[in-house]
Chains A and B, each alone.
Chain A
């Protein structure tokens, strides 16, 4: 389809503002723009139709199955959108006087209380704008804690090799050296490997539990105990919180701080890549290190990780969601997320290998390695062929410890019918690949595009439109 710039017609426009009712003020010559930007010149109907056409080339979770492991693609309730759109939230200036923003404060306080209860933490900040941003905040809490105690020898953060890439990247942004430890064969933390690296230089450990292969680490108390014994702190990556809400709490596992992805666990829409929100919780002894805003809170001696109070309207959606679910709905969501994952895993069993054949949490990993040996088809080929069925593929090639990984997370908002259909699709792809691997290798066959040339995109990057001469 055409780019919006290719639909632009000189002189066409939307009349949005009308005439100015005061005199214009002249901008001194030295500050004036030399030529107009090449923005599209369009009527409103042109714009509307262009974006509607683009929208038809997008797959959202509210449109179809989206089992993208570790991303918790659950249904995003529409009522949450309505609430976030209320003038009483959307129309509020972040620097309005305190007595005019009591409702906003109530949202922050109430959501903070609820999320502390769910996570087992004592205090919460909503300044982080995403999960990775929350990790950054959490590890900065650890850094400030050690710094304040003058414990400057702690220069290392321990990260399992199964971790999300954001964990080591975060530790590096906080000035720490990353110590990767290998996982045990069951994907959990290898206690001996952990003991071997703990010491007076340990600042902390970053961990997801259930871990990135979808297994709850039964040694979790021993893990956090060992880290604390060495003088380090434990950071909980909340990417997989959707498995355990109302069942078990990170705070009770021995973690000192945590981030939660409101755009995963608490059903706020991900908007094609963001905005998210990464609420960060901590135990009382770390509260003094939480971030604040220099301008909004007048806090010049605190850390600050973005402007104002964070992605507030995302928080409004999450609070709406928690209010709807309540004390029964929260654990019900997690329990059914786990049930759906286990059910789907057992329905798919007998086709692609299960990387770990045991009860899983909210997600599970398929290992396509033996199938690849047999047919020549990789996890990528299998993923692409699913697109022809109108299903978003699972997460591919993650975690790194399973080389031909496909990671599925169905979430609690999928029906048994969808899960049964999914298993049928996997079986169909599996069988077809055995007899006609070329067909699967050439997939997708009926998608928006065929497989794109990614090498060309990175070798000779074209990252903006330029007008043809």
Chain B
């Protein structure tokens, strides 16, 4: 498993990085591996509000569906439309394949750094 040290992670397996004032959110290597082949992703629309700890969309594999939980509260300013046609990008490189960008962030959950997250994942298996 690969957990880049420059990212922060949630216990629901999303990663977060700040690009200036904008939060960039994706799912971790652990999450994509656990899901297996991702076949579809349900995304919010630009302009939708998301809330820390609340689902903002979901990812589907053949036999499972998992909520995407936002680590921040704010407003969606971009979605990765590539994923709508090519959800396999999440399996191929989950750190390149960001899912949404959020602006106007007013609240952020307590997140783990890469080392803490790796330890957390070890207990999840």
Contact = CB atoms under 8 A, between A and B. Distances in A.
Note whether A and B contact each other (Cβ less than 8 A): yes
Interface of A: 397, 454-455, 458-459
A43 to B, nearest CB: 40
Contacts of B87: 459
A454 B88 CA distance: 14
Contacts of A459: 37, 39-40, 87-88
B39 A455 contact: yes
Nearest to B37: A455
Nearest to A454: B62
B49 interface: no
Interface in B17-69: 37, 39-40, 60, 62-63
14 contacts: A397-B63, A454-B62, A455-B37, A455-B39, A455-B62, A458-B39, A458-B40, A458-B60, A458-B62, A459-B37, A459-B39, A459-B40, A459-B87, A459-B88
A455 B63 CA distance: 10
User: Is the contact region of chain B dominated by helix, strand, or loop, or is it mixed?
Assistant: loop
Nearest to B40: A458
A3 B67 CA distance: 38
Q: Which 7 A-B pairs have the closest CB atoms?
A: A458-B39, A455-B37, A454-B62, A459-B39, A458-B62, A455-B62, A455-B39
Contacts, number: 14
Nearest to B60: A458
A408 to B, nearest CB: 20
Contacts of B40: 458-459
A410 B4 CA distance: 51
Which size bracket describes the interface of B in this complex?
Answer: under 10
Contacts of B60: 458
A452 to B, nearest CB: 11
Contacts of B39: 455, 458-459
A455 B64 CA distance: 12
Contacts of B88: 459
Contacts of B63: 397
A168 to B, nearest CB: 13
Interface in B74-122: 87-88
A397 B63 CA distance: 10
Contacts of A455: 37, 39, 62
A459 B37 CA distance: 9
A454 B63 CA distance: 9
Q: Which of A397, A454, A455 neighbours the largest number of chain B CB atoms within 10 Å of its CB?
A: A455
A231 B62 CA distance: 40
B66 to A, nearest CB: 14
A454 B39 CA distance: 10
Given A455-B37, A458-B39, 12 more contacts: A397-B63, A454-B62, A455-B39, A455-B62, A458-B40, A458-B60, A458-B62, A459-B37, A459-B39, A459-B40, A459-B87, A459-B88
Contacts of A454: 62
A454 B87 CA distance: 15
B80 to A, nearest CB: 16
A64 to B, nearest CB: 26
Contacts of A397: 63
Contacts of B62: 454-455, 458
A329 to B, nearest CB: 39
Nearest to B63: A397
A429 B88 CA distance: 34
B45 to A, nearest CB: 22
B90 to A, nearest CB: 12
A455 B39 CA distance: 6
Q: Which of B39, B40, B60, B63 neighbours the largest number of chain A CB atoms within 10 Å of its CB?
A: B39
A379 B63 CA distance: 14
Nearest to B36: A455
A277 B54 CA distance: 38
Nearest to A455: B37
A455 B37 CA distance: 7
Contacts of A458: 39-40, 60, 62
A459 B87 CA distance: 8
A260 to B, nearest CB: 29
A13 to B, nearest CB: 41
A274 B19 CA distance: 53
A246 to B, nearest CB: 38
B33 to A, nearest CB: 15
A380 to B, nearest CB: 10
